[in-house]
Amino acid sequence: MRVVARLVWFFLFVLVFSTSAAAAQRAQTVRIQSQNAIQSQRNEVVFGMVSQVNYLKEANSHDPVVEIRLQQGERTITVRLGPSSFLTQYGFVLKEGEDISVRLRRDASGGSEKTVFVGMEITKGSRRLTLRDENGQPLW
């Protein structure tokens, strides 16, 4: 009888331990996924030369959104800044060949073949323009 009782306790211990280990593993997986989501929303500062300036009229033909291609050595990234009128109001007319830095965040909307970044703040020379708040909300 004692042997049977010990076997039952042993199997209960193994069952409880394996269940709690699986729960801990699931919790760790959720934590890692959450950290990855947060990291994809983190701001990054990049320096480079403006290789192309595009004015996207799809959203508003009267006030197109400025999108630039920023060259960093061999790497070129696309950065969506904001409405042309907002940048012009603060004297930020960007031209090809200019060196700038951009604090940006990866565009979470997806659905595009290429990765598009959203500009949070741009610096040109000694001038800086904040485009979006820390939550990504536009300031225009």
Q: What is the pLDDT of residue 23?
A: 57
CB contact at 8 A, 53 and 65: no
Q: What is the pLDDT of residue 96?
A: 97
CA pseudo-torsion sign 39, 107, 90, 86: negative
CB contact at 8 A, 67 and 76: no
CA 33 – CA 80 distance, rounded (Å): 26
For residue 138, list its beta bridge partners. Answer: 132
Q: What is the pLDDT of residue 25?
A: 64
Q: What is the pLDDT of residue 134?
A: 87
pTM: 0.66
Mean pLDDT split into 10-residue runs, the chain, 140 residues: 73 66 58 47 88 91 94 94 96 95 81 78 96 92
Q: What is the pLDDT of residue 106?
A: 85
